[in-house]
Amino acid sequence: MRASGGFLVPTLGGQPWMEKPPFVLWLMAAALGLPVPPETAVRLPSAAGLAAAGWFTFRLGAAVRSPREGLLACAILLLSPLALASGAAATMDAVLLASTTAALSILAAAPPDAPRRRDVLALGVALALGQLTKGPVGLLLPLLSAAPALLLGPPAARRGFVRLVVPAASLSLLAYLAWAVPANAASSGLLFSEGFGVHVLGRVLSPMESHGGWGPVGLLFHPAVLVVTFCPWTLFAVAGLREIGPPAASRGAALLAGSVAVPLLLFSAVATKLPHYVLPALPALAIASAAGVLAPLPGRRGRCAGPALLLLGSAAWLGLLAFAAGHASPPLRAFALAIVVLFVLSSGAGLALFVLGRRVQAAAALGAGFALSATLVAGAVLPAFEPFKPVPPVAAAARRAAPFPVASFGFGEPSLAFYAGPGPIERLPSDRAVRTWTRRPGGGVLVTTGAEAARLSLAGEGRLVLLARAVGIDLVHGRPTELVAFLRAER
């Protein structure tokens, strides 16, 4: 997009990219003009989105509980594994988290029976940015999350809620359509057929990229993800939910309950399962955890659930860390073992302090331990994974073959377009298209997976010469990947 100067239709590698709307791509294109490395620039929107989500979590917590609990909830969100990972990745998730949390904070702070114009405008902007980030989910998530507050509120509050939400949602939809209609026309209908038909409706109806398809067991996936990726703060979440009370207790309790329940129920019903789908539930869980830290001590029954969840999440993390240590190089193994020791010490100290009734000190121990672990991961572990990324060396080989055009088959990750440079990358849709590509006149470069190359016997094609091969880890999907690049010799 930045190279072509065309910002209406999202493009990657010179080709239309309809998986998501363009707002985060616009932000990435702007960030690439900053004097920072490109790998840092494309992650800046996510970092800003996480920071904004933390601010709006504070606003939401202050509106439904107290400023003190809102501030603590902000810290808990920023020190939770899933949120921190989303803020470090070049994806749309942290920006969506910011827009949905902003919408909920506006709904919580607006006068219940007489919404102001500025509330309507602010909510409309938040909902519009959510739709321009991830499409219909940016509108549906906050509105469905607020539904319990609408249904359980008194008549005057319900009327005020409708007067706030209906015009704001209408404004946001108009803003989204102001981009979507011309973008769909400019892409010859690809936005509707591919963007909505495949990447929205298709993900709902059938598992995509092998994410899902587990039958009834899949209903447990997202709750399990929360137990692991919100650890160690699950220690306080149950006590906090009990302190906040049932949804009927107050408007704030209804908003928080909806904010947790809706992502879990909605995405559990969707065929495609991905861990980051539950990210919008984290701000409400962070507020509940803050309430649990500052709440009066519960009875015996209330003291058991939190430690049980902490132990489950900790066991999962220790298993992952042990697996990583067992399969890593010696330097990386040393860092993994250091994180294991730090994790065990901080979790043990937090659990012991919690049992003794010293919850604030328990939260401090857990937060300090997680912050130190995250620093080790960011400073030592993640850089050690750079040599295991298969895309950069293959893309570098494709760049060296310039000015030959680049095509891809069976591998469509955006990172290929990023590392291969500003030139267009042709996506070959079928085996037949690959065969046709091999017979074209002139030179060219084809990037595909090792499995696809073996299946199509590309090494046996007379004009194809192996240009590069890289074996590594596909960090997006968490699996080993082999990429190959073939040079099509000129006739």
**pLDDT digits over 444-477, tens only?**
999 999 989 998 888 877 788 899 999 887 666 6
Indicate the burial class of 462 (C-beta count within 10 angstroms; 0-12, 13-18, 19 or more). Answer: exposed
Do residues 235 and 350 touch, judged by C-beta distance below 8 A?
yes
pLDDT digits (tens, 9 = 90+) for 477-490: 666 789 999 999 87
Q: Which residue has the higher pLDDT, 19 or 335?
A: 19
Residue 387 pLDDT grade (very low, low, confident, very high; cuts 50, 70, 90)? confident
Residues 6+ apart with CB under 8 A from 252: 63, 64, 65, 108, 244
Q: How far apart are CA 104 and CA 114, in angstroms?
A: 17
Q: What is the pLDDT of residue 274?
A: 87
- Measured between alpha carbons, how far is residue 124 from residues 112, 143, 177, 332 in Å? 17, 12, 13, 47
Spatial neighbors of 179 by CB under 8 A, at least 6 apart, are 8, 21, 22, 132
Tens-digit pLDDT profile for residues 88-146: 888 999 999 999 999 999 999 998 888 899 999 999 999 999 999 999 999 999 999 99
| Per-residue pLDDT at 80 exceeds 80 | yes
Q: What's residue 13's pLDDT? A: 66
CATH fold label, 389-488: D-Maltodextrin-Binding Protein; domain 2 (3.40.190)
Residue 208 has pLDDT above 80, yes or no: no
Distance CA 67, CA 440 (A): 66
Read off the pLDDT band of 205 (50, 70, 90). confident
Strand partners, 466: 486
Q: Which of 5-9, 176-180, 370-374, 386-390 has the highest mean pLDDT?
A: 176-180
- Compute the average pLDDT of residues 55-80: 96
Predicted confidence at residue 413, as pLDDT, reads: 79
Domain ranges (residues) in the chain: 11-296, 297-387, 389-488
Lowest model confidence (mean pLDDT) among 132-146, 174-188, 277-291, 292-306: 292-306
What's the confidence (pLDDT) of residue 210? 63
pLDDT(75) > 70 = yes
pLDDT higher than 60, residue 328:
yes
Please state which of the ranges 163-167, 336-340, 436-440 shows the lowest mean pLDDT.
Answer: 336-340
Who has greater pLDDT, 205 or 325?
Answer: 205
Q: Each residue of 390-442: pLDDT tens digit? A: 888 898 888 887 778 889 998 877 788 788 777 788 889 899 999 999 989 88
Task: Evaluate whether 365 touches 346 at the Cβ level (below 8 Å).
Answer: yes
What is this structure's pTM?
Answer: 0.88
- The pLDDT score that the predictor gives to residue 409 is 92
pLDDT of res. 477: 60
pLDDT of residue 478: 60
Q: What is the pLDDT of residue 154?
A: 86
Using a pLDDT cut of 70, give the percent of the chain over it: 91
Question: Rounded to an integer, what distance in angstroms lies between the CA atom of residue 237 and that of residue 243?
Answer: 10
